[in-house]
Amino acid sequence: MKKMFVTVIASITMFATTAFADYIFVVPQKPGAGTAVWTAIVAAELEKFLDGERIKIQHIPGGRSLLGFNKWHNGLQDNEKTVMVSNGGNALKYLLDEVEYNYGEYDSIGMMNLTIVTGRKIGASSNNIRMAADSARLPEMMAMMMLVCGPEGAADDYQKCFKDNVIWVKGMQQGTARLAYIREELNHTRENPAAYKKHVAKDENSEVWFTHGLLQADGSHGDDPNHPGKQFEILYEAKWGVAPSGDFYDGYKLSKSFRDGMQKALWIKKGSPDRANLVVALEEMSKNPESIKAIAKKVGNYEWAIGDAGNNNRDNILSFITEGALRTMLKFQNESLGYKSAFKPEIITK
């Protein structure tokens, strides 16, 4: 009896730590991962503008961020105060994998529009690109192939370009890849802006090759003010004399828009009465210098698309899903990068 009593007390003490909260933010990663850290910072800042209401973060990791979003889609969203925090990985999976969630079915509270910076060792040959592999690096590799092998290529041409010019090193975790880049086993790298600043910018043997630019409200991509003149479209036109176009470019644009345009996004059930409250708080937070500073420290200083602007961004991004773009992107992902993905005609919007 005494033993049972001790066990019950111990258990109650532990469970008591998970206090009730007004809002629940579902994060599809375990604590410590990128989106989880971002959410912790944003939630702490956002709480300051919620008139005493509290946010509890619920981690549902698994399936490389798939499990949590699926569970939210399939039931958790019915609690109208439960918000989904999605990331760029979720967005790419929507295009490439079997998922149960569908961005078109929710309302956006806000999304942070980021870019990825691709760097290289100064003097590294673009005919001998050594890069750590990862399925989420699809946009970088598509951009590289267009910059290296030029315009008007069919998917097969870019596949050959990849085979001839890239050593695609699989199995390297991010930390290992950074070390390998310092040792020059790898000669190309890519990072989010804050990580680039921390790990690559200090290396005087490295240079920024290109960025993907930032998604604009009209659906185009603008130059990243942190790395002016390095946007892919600008470099491409300067090198090849024409603006990028064609199915391969459309596939690239589709992949980068999904991954970077919805890099960090907050979703709530369509029509939720709590949305307005969260949107107002997020707008106030996004204008507060201290909050901006706290968030920028982790991910860099990038713009929010809040409320209806978020929905507008989402609609723009979804409109990029054409059959040609999707098929080309998948072909490159499957046959060049070597990751198995399935064609999903039901997500095509045009």
Which residues are at the interface with other proteins (CB under 8 A)?
2-4, 6-7, 10-11, 14, 17, 30-32, 37, 59-64, 66-67, 70, 133, 135, 167-176, 178-180, 182-183, 185, 198-199, 338-341
Q: Are 96 and 342 in contact (CB under 8 A)?
A: yes
Calpha distance 51→42 (Å, rounded): 16
Based on CB atoms, which residue is closest to other proteins, 69 or 236? 69
Q: Residue 277 belongs to what H/E stretch?
A: helix 275-287
Mutual angle of helices 34-47 and 275-287, in 10-degree steps: 90
- Specify which residues 208 forms β-bridges with: 119
CB 210 within 8 A of CB 143: yes
Closer to other proteins by Cβ: residue 14 or 238: 14
* Alpha-carbon Rg for the chain in angstroms: 21
Taking the complex as a whole, how short is the minimal distance between the CB of residue 194 and other proteins, in angstroms?
12
25 by Cβ neighbours in 10 Å (0-12 / 13-18 / 19+) ranks as buried
**Please, what is the minimum distance in Å from the beta carbon of residue 114 to other proteins?**
18
CB of 272 to other proteins, least distance (A): 24
**What is the smallest separation between the CB atom of 276 and other proteins, expressed in angstroms?**
30
Nearer to other proteins, 40 or 292 (CB): 40
DSSP 143-190: HHHHHHH-SS--HHHHHHHHHHHEEEETT--HHHHHHHHHTTS--EEE
Nearer to other proteins, 31 or 273 (CB): 31
Closest CA to 144 of 23, 235, 247, 219: 235
Measured from the CB of residue 257, what is the shortest distance to other proteins in angstroms?
A: 21
Mapping DSSP to helix (H, G, I), strand (E, B) and coil, where does residue 338 land? coil
Closest approach, Cβ 169 to other proteins, in A, equals 5
Q: Please report the beta strands in 224-303, taking only residues with DSSP state E, as ranges in sequence order.
A: 264-269
Which residue number, 54 or 198, has a Cβ lying nearer to other proteins?
A: 198
User: Position 203: which residue type?
Assistant: D
Q: 69 or 232: whose CB is closer to other proteins?
A: 69
Cα of 253 vs its chain's centroid, Å: 14
Cβ proximity to other proteins: between 64 and 327 the closer is 64
Which uninterrupted H or E stretch holds 194? Answer: helix 193-199
Least distance (Å) between residue 36 CB and other proteins: 9
Q: Which is nearer to other proteins, 89 or 153 (CB)?
A: 89
Pair type for strands 221-222 and 214-215: antiparallel
Name the minimum Å distance from CB 164 to other proteins: 15
Name which of 288, 312, 311, 289 is nearest 50 in CA terms: 288
